Chain A
């Protein structure tokens, strides 16, 4: 019974992340538009785009193998499964019957989604897809180890890699109990979020100019419902990364029980944290230019170094 309830909660939280993912993208785009003195599309535009794509037919390149068709589904599935590991509203304080929520598995699933998308891009045989995939993997090479090190640096304190457990432990502490490595790790994550969410200064989500595409380049050959799946996976991934920051560093207000009041507080806290971090993404995106690709390793190197040092300080 307890196991079933736990799985139901995890699924509900994943559903929340998937449903709200496009809204966060819509918010960032609206914020960007306002900062550029434009009216901008309204918040629900990403949902409309998804709906439009779902009703369209699929066109596929002649060189693509049958695997190409399952790529969007696999990428979306990996992302949604990783969303189930995320403590969104509810962080249990007691022993969890099923270990849902392992941070290493979460990052591995996100990496799997990235890998599958890249394979699909190569499979279609387009030049842009291959280029985008190769660039995306280069960025992934720098981002993933840094994220791992940030997570480890936090996990060393709690003695567990279970995200729900970490969030529950840390939510009982005040923000002042932050130690020096936490600051370094937070800074590292703030450098890494734009890269992981596919935003400026690493990637530009709005462009379809061949030389500047990273993530978009990989999606070029997809169409119709497949493209909708990949777009939804991108929205969800962005919200997962935002939530990872919140769960690791600001797990304030998470529900430990199941009472409606606690859940309402948790929902408000979740909305507030997401809003703050989405605003951060939007403001960064509006105030910086996209980096030249060969500058990206230097920029991400800063995040990698901070993550490394935060882990080193924790152990030394």
Chain B
């Protein structure tokens, strides 16, 4: 695969990652957000495969495979399992209205494209628009975490944020050492497990929402 072709495909996949991120931000239902984050992980895996084909780096194939298996199948399945288990309300409860969040999102994406333009030398090293898209995904993931009340939606934000970091890392380094990538993925899995279990435990012992923890402040 020629480098220009790879750049173009990475650009297109970056746009798809942005679209899925915006769907996560705009979705009013928990399941839609979870499916969107799963789709995002699929696109991320495809981006990894494209980079692997372009650079001939075998590690990237492995990473693409792991990404799809864990982030696109296992983690969303875990989230859905938790949602069904605790039979929570499936509407997303935003802290600020979703339309306001969308306006913030527009500003963040513009800002990250503008900022990464000033990082000239770094941007040269990165394939296509991967750097601004990655920054935007990371910040938008944080926005999801900050603007949602439920722990599960915050987990979706965390996954999306992590996807952004992963995307940049793949594009910048043309594939990090396999051991580091696997370590990062393990971290996410562990985080998801801990959060999932915590949500279940909190729910079963005190029957409360994460937002109610606010009242514990002294």
Q: Which A residues are within 8 Å of any B CB, using their own CB?
A: 176-184, 187, 295, 297-299, 301-302, 304-306, 308-309, 312-313, 316
Partner of A184, one of B15, B28, B99, B102: B15
Given A297-B99, A309-B18, residue A180 in contact with residue B113 (CB < 8 A): no
- Complex Cα distance, B136 from A316, in Å, reads 14
Cβ–Cβ contact A302 & B12, under 8 A: no
B14 proximal to A (CB < 8 A): yes
Q: Which B residues are within 8 Å of any A CB, using their own CB?
A: 8, 11-12, 14-16, 18-19, 22-23, 26, 28, 98-99, 102, 105-106, 109-110, 113-114, 117, 129
> Which partner residue on chain B sits nearest A316 by CB separation?
B113
Tell me, rounded to whole Å, the shortest Cβ–Cβ distance linking A177 to chain B. Answer: 8
Most buried by B among A176, A295, A304, A305: A305
Tell me, rounded to whole Å, the shortest Cβ–Cβ distance linking B179 to chain A. Answer: 32
> Which partner residue on chain A sits nearest B14 by CB separation?
A180
Main secondary structure of the interface of B (DSSP, over half): helix
Which A residues are CB-close (under 8 A) to B12? 178-180, 183
Which B residues are CB-close (under 8 A) to A298? 26, 28, 98-99, 102
> Which partner residue on chain B sits nearest A313 by CB separation?
B113
Which A residues are CB-close (under 8 A) to B117? 316
Cβ–Cβ contact B15 & A302, under 8 A: no
Cβ–Cβ contact B28 & A302, under 8 A: no
Tell me, rounded to whole Å, the shortest Cβ–Cβ distance linking B42 to chain A. Answer: 15
- Complex Cα distance, B26 from A301, in Å, reads 8
Which B residues are CB-close (under 8 A) to A312? 106, 109-110, 113
Partner of A183, one of B19, B99, B105, B109: B19
Given A176-B8, A179-B8, residue A309 in contact with residue B109 (CB < 8 A): yes
Given A180-B11, A180-B12, A297-B99, residue A305 in contact with residue B22 (CB < 8 A): yes
CB-defined A-B contacts under 8 Å, sample of 11: A181-B15, A184-B18, A187-B19, A301-B99, A301-B102, A302-B102, A305-B102, A309-B106, A312-B109, A313-B129, A316-B113
> Which partner residue on chain B sits nearest A181 by CB separation?
B15
Cβ–Cβ contact A316 & B114, under 8 A: yes
Cβ–Cβ contact B15 & A183, under 8 A: yes
Partner of B26, one of A176, A182, A299: A299
Which A residues are CB-close (under 8 A) to B18? 184, 309
Which B residues are CB-close (under 8 A) to A187? 19
- Complex Cα distance, B5 from A177, in Å, reads 10
- Complex Cα distance, B26 from A26, in Å, reads 32
Which A residues are CB-close (under 8 A) to B99? 297-298, 301
> Which partner residue on chain B sits nearest A291 by CB separation?
B28
What 9 A-B pairs are tightest by C-beta distance, nearest first? A180-B15, A302-B26, A183-B15, A180-B11, A316-B113, A301-B102, A301-B99, A298-B98, A187-B19
Which B residues are CB-close (under 8 A) to A180? 11-12, 14-15, 129
- Complex Cα distance, B102 from A141, in Å, reads 17
Which A residues are CB-close (under 8 A) to B14? 180
Which A residues are CB-close (under 8 A) to B22? 302, 305-306, 309
Tell me, rounded to whole Å, the shortest Cβ–Cβ distance linking A113 to chain B. Answer: 27
New contact pairs (6) apart from A183-B15, A316-B113, CB-CB < 8 Å: A180-B14, A295-B28, A299-B26, A309-B22, A313-B15, A313-B129
Which B residues are CB-close (under 8 A) to A176? 8
